[in-house]
Amino acid sequence: MLPFVGPATFLRAPYRPLTEQWEADVGFLGVPWDVGVGYRVGARFAPQAIRQASLRYTLPPEGYYHPQHGYRLGGLKVVDAGDVEVPTIEYALAHERICHSARALRARVRLPLFVGGDHSISYPLLCAYDDVPDLHVVQIDAHLDFTDERSGTRYSNSSPFRRAVEHLPNLTHITTLGLRGVRFDPEAFASAQARGHTLVFREQLAEASLPEGKQVYLSIDVDALDPALFPATSSPEPDGLTYAEVAHLIQRIAHANTLVGVDLVEIVPSLDPTGNSMLIATRLLVDCLLAYFSSPASPDGR
Ligand SMILES: [Mn+2]
């Protein structure tokens, strides 16, 4: 079927709401909440935009074919679990519903994929992982998102990991990859350093030391990518990562650890009328599936 035909679900997977009983290898859940954004809004529209873009990556039953790697992801059972039904503005209610839905998805699939929304959703998503011992978070992001409070706000997209470490004693370590910009919060940086987080600036990426043998929750903020490549994001910073750098990090993290969940956040579709950003975002989700379910056949992520 051509990529502009038919109703849009993620990779053309069947839609099964979380109110039904089912099991799958992969579950896609939209989290269209962008009330926590500190700059340009619109990430609430990303789950639908990703579904539309993902029709170009429809996963056939026999898998994707590549001449050098053969068929990959054949027989993989993917389900589109729809979106969290978020309220208009009440953040506590939104967090409750996001956490509840994330728990329900975790119970049904091996690899949950959560698509935001702004980065504030990582806090309620991580709350659904309070039973995972020695949980590691790997965050690919231009920003630290570890601010205690900003303009009197504690649950914005600047603070999800600060709230997460306060709430989750089992969250033992955070590795942040791709940091850059000129607007660091000194208190947040000192606090993350004092907790022993691994903080990797964009320039140090090649030598980054990544966790090994851990249960890893991977949080990908698309502003880690270069804005020339991925303009559809709220808070762009110049000199970002290339697609290959991010794909390679996903492979390294997935192969050395057990991924327990992935979120992909801060995609603002209206900021890229070409649609290329949404295709790249979809491709990063496909790369997560390839890294998790395929043998390490393509170290460059292609
Ligand atoms: Mn972020």
Tell me the per-residue pLDDT of 217-268, one tens digit each, with 9 for 90 and over.
Answer: 999 999 999 999 999 999 999 999 999 999 999 999 999 999 999 999 999 9
pLDDT value at position 300? 39
How many A from CA of 173 to the centre of ligand 1? 17
Which SS3 state, helix, strand or coil, does residue 66 take? strand
Distance 77 CA to ligand 1 centre (A): 30
How far is the CA of 295 from the CAs of 63, 69, 104, 198, 210, in angstroms? 14, 10, 28, 27, 19
Token pair listed for 46: 């990303």
pLDDT at 35: 97
Mean of the per-residue pLDDT values of the chain: 96
In a domain, 110, yes or no: yes
- Gap from CA of 148 to ligand 1 centroid (Å): 14
Quote the ligand 1 centre to 227 CA distance (angstroms): 14
Strand-pairing partners, residue 240, are none
- Residue 72 C-alpha to ligand 1 middle, in angstroms? 31
Q: Which of 133, 112, 129 is nearest to 29 (CA)?
A: 112
Separation CA 183–CA 180 (nearest Å)? 9
- CA of 260 from ligand 1 middle (Å) equals 19
CA of 105 to the centre of ligand 1 (A): 23
**Phi and psi at residue 124, in whole multiples of 5°?**
-65, -30
* Whether the predicted pLDDT of 48 surpasses 80: yes
Ligand 1 centroid, distance to 187 Cα (angstroms): 17
| Strand order, beta sheet including 171-179 | 78-83, 24-31, 109-116, 258-265, 215-221, 135-140, 171-179, 198-201
Pair of tokens at residue 132: 């995972």
Instruction: Establish if 5 belongs to a structural domain.
Output: no
Calculate how far, in angstroms, residue 222's C-alpha sits from the geometric centre of ligand 1: 8
The whole-number pLDDT of residue 294 equals 84
Residue 1 forms part of a structural domain = no
| Cβ contact 236:155 at 8 Å | no
Dihedrals phi, psi of 207, to nearest 5 degrees: -100, 10
CA gap 80, 218 in Å, rounded: 19
Cα(169) to centroid(ligand 1), Å: 22
36 lies in which domain range? 10-293
Classify residue 136: in a domain, yes or no.
yes
Say how many Å lie between the CA of residue 140 and the centre of ligand 1: 8
**Total of domains in the chain:** 1
DSSP-derived secondary structure for 94-152: HHHHHHHHHHHHHTTEEEEEEEESSGGGHHHHHHTTTTSTTEEEEEE-SS----S-BTT
Cα 61 to middle of ligand 1, angstroms: 35
Task: Evaluate if residue 296 carries a pLDDT over 60.
Answer: no
With cut-offs at 50, 70 and 90, classify the pLDDT of residue 297: very low
Distance 69 CA to ligand 1 centre (A): 33
Mean predicted confidence (pLDDT) in 108-124: 98
In a domain, 300, yes or no: no
Residue 298's pLDDT is: 41
Helix, strand, coil percent content, the chain, rounded in steps of 5: 35, 25, 45
pLDDT at 295 over 90: no
Question: Is 4 inside a domain boundary?
Answer: no
CATH number of 286's domain: 3.40.800.10
How far is the centre of ligand 1, averaged over its atoms, from the C-alpha of 45 (Å)?
Answer: 17
CA atoms lying within 13 Å on the CB side of residue 237: 21
Instruction: Kindly give the distance from the C-alpha atom of residue 159 to the centroid of ligand 1, in angstroms, as a whole number.
Output: 9
Phi-psi region of 128 (alpha: psi -120 to 50; beta: other; left: phi over 0): alpha
Question: Is the residue at 301 inside a domain?
Answer: no
Which tens digits make up the pLDDT trace of 129-159? 999 999 999 999 999 999 999 999 999 999 9
Three-state SS letters, 225-274 = ECCCCCCCECCCCCCCECHHHHHHHHHHHHHHCEEEEEEEECECHHHCCC
Q: What is the mean pLDDT of residues 100-105?
A: 98
Assess if residue 112 is contained within a domain.
yes
pTM reported for the whole predicted model: 0.97
Q: State in Å: Cα 256 to ligand 1 middle.
A: 23
| Interior/surface letters 185-198, b for 16+ CB within 10 angstroms, e for the rest | beebbebbeeeebb
* Rounded distance from Cα 116 to ligand 1 centre (Å): 11
Ligand 1 centroid – CA 114 distance (Å): 14
pLDDT for 114 equals 99
Residue 112 has pLDDT above 70, yes or no: yes
Confidence of residue 174 (pLDDT cuts 50, 70, 90): very high
